[in-house]
Structure 1
């Protein structure tokens, strides 16, 4: 019997998780009517929540009315959504694996359509994207569009504008994603980098059913920088070009100053322009050092080989280990 796993990262989702599980139950029972041999499991990942999320997960295991088997793991602290997604994929057993959020912004009702596509068409995964960013602050939407345009131009990772983490993958693609066990993870880039044939479907933006978003503008900005550093060396090339350009400018200025001094004998004039040049060069140097620092910091974190996450508790005791 084919198994479909739903990987659900959760961080302080005690208000939305019961609604999500109820909706997923309806979808699974509907899918079983159409595909009687299909079974389901939900892999719930508690990313160090401080509310009652873990209690809801524990109770879900004993709920015999659900049309899916529930398994859960709980981290020792908050490791972030990327770590939670990776952990969920590692603990999933399905021939097909879906990743979706518990806040219902990734509608489980799309799963039948996504599964049908994988059964009838030659694709390895079905991914989702938002048709628009309705309800999102304009400045945040503007920066998001610029980020997608930028990273697609400077990297070889194919990332669709408006792409969500909500997708349904066949097991070979899941195994390929898991083979990339890097510490600094950027899933949207990883999905594009591993390749495989992807079918994109669009849907209108959906608001959270409960609670507040955990992603502030600064967190999203830092996440975008992580994605650029993880999948592109263009910033390093930019730093090198700045250095070459400044060397050329400095050489031209030296010739200009020498000629001007020989012709006019006035080497002191131009103090304001000198200060501007020093400030500009100093800023460019700091920018270049900062870019190098970002890559060095990521390399440092990778070489320490710390676990991506640590499991504190699990519905399966044998999984209570570092990963």
Structure 2
């Protein structure tokens, strides 16, 4: 029996690139001569884009469309796609054409060689500002120091997952999902395939710096308890400094009397201690908020509709 492939594509109002992306993707998938389906996961897009997706499905029987009830975010959309992907291997790719579909050929080759996770690793990030490249590099360096798992640098969601890797991901119960960390956490043989990331083919990115900052916090708090330890050490260091500072004033008073202390120095000490306390409370609050979200046990997502593919056989009928 032939192996089957599923391609999961999370989308959100990608009208300008959808048709071009699908043409390139189908061309690559047909070269593999394996039965496949393409699952577009709509993350609460506008009605106009949904109509475009339905027209694409009507014209290609290998296309399935999964509509979420609202915009849940890309991580949840990816999880929904993995839940509904049925192939022996699942390919995850964005529709903006920054990640070349042609690399899928190399992914499948490495999968056949025995790797469960084959991911694209960016050697160059074209079309991105120097600030974004610097902040991305700083985040990966920070995660390598703080993280409990080794998350590969310059790696996104573009990858191939074997069936047992997909089943492992689907078995994880957590609601606050940082997929790049989960891909690494499940283990299994993994391999990188280098490539040059191109600029967006059309449209604008949905990721601004505020969303990227929150996404970075999600990654750090999901896979590292180091900030909590740092808060403890910071409190210990501050207490030690305050004790030494108090001893200094005690000795100076015994030897030279008790002059009136300066008001500016008092304000500086109070503000410093207050700032340290607020930082530590903020760190604890981030973890507490995530614990609170997990404890409610809400469903990860809800479906508005699921339109399955009518065929998983390629046009060359390779079975």
- TM-score normalized by structure 1? 0.92
> 2:106 pairs with 89, 97, 113, which one?
113
Match of 1:197 in 2: 189
What displacement does 1:232 show? Answer: 0.3
Unaligned runs of 5+ in 2: 309-319
**1:307 counterpart SS class:** coil
Q: Is the 8 A contact 1:114 1:168 kept in 2?
A: yes
Which residue does the alignment assign to 1:320? none
Question: Do structure 1's residue 99 and structure 2's residue 100 form an aligned pair?
Answer: no
CA contact (8 A) 2:108 2:160 kept: yes
Q: Deviations over 1:216-266 (max 9, x none)?
A: 111111100110011000000010001101111111122112111122222
Deviations 1:8-65 (A, max 9, x none): 0000111111111111111122111xxxxx200111100001252211221222224x
Contact kept, 8 Å, 1:74 with 1:312, in 2: the verdict is yes
Does residue 180 (structure 1) correspond to residue 149 (structure 2)? The answer is no
Is contact 2:28–2:105 with CA below 8 Å preserved after alignment?
yes
The 5 Å alignment of 1:191-230 reads 191-230=183-222
**Counterpart of 1:76?**
69
Q: Distance in 2 between matches of 1:51 and 1:10?
A: 13
Write out the 4+ residue segments of structure 1 that deviate beyond 4 Å after TM superposition.
none
d(CA) in 1 for partners of 2:234 and 2:192?
39
Give 1:269 shift.
Answer: 2.3
1:10, 1:53 within 8 Å by CA — same for their partners in 2? no
2:116 to 108, 113, 124: 124
Q: Give me the whole-angstrom Cα distance separating, in 2, the residues matched to 1:299 and 1:166.
A: 29
Cα deviation 1:177-235 (Å, max 9, x = unaligned): 11123111111111111111111011112111221100011111110011001100000
Partner of 1:45: 41
Structure 1 segments unaligned to the other structure (5+ residues): 33-37, 317-323
1:163 matched residue in structure 2: 155
1 or 2 for the larger relative contact order (CA 8 Å, sep ≥6)?
A: 2
SS at match of 1:52: helix
**What secondary structure sits across from 1:8 in the alignment?**
strand
1:131 counterpart SS class: strand
2:125/2:198 contact within 8 Å kept: no
2:123/2:196 contact within 8 Å kept = yes
What are the equivalent positions in structure 2 for 1:134-173 lying under 5 Å apart? 134-173=126-165
Tell me if the contact between 1:131 and 1:203 (Cα under 8 Å) persists in the aligned partners: yes
RMSD over aligned CA atoms reads 1.3
* Equivalent position of 2:260 in the other structure: 268
CA contact (8 A) 1:257 1:267 kept: no
- Contact 1:73 1:315 (8 Å CA) reproduced: yes
Equivalent residue in structure 2 for 1:251, among 239, 243, 246: 243
SS in 1 for 2:216: helix
Aligned residues: 307
Q: Does 1:27 align with 2:28?
A: yes
Distance 1:267 1:277 in 2: 18
Q: Alignment partner of 1:301: what SS?
A: helix
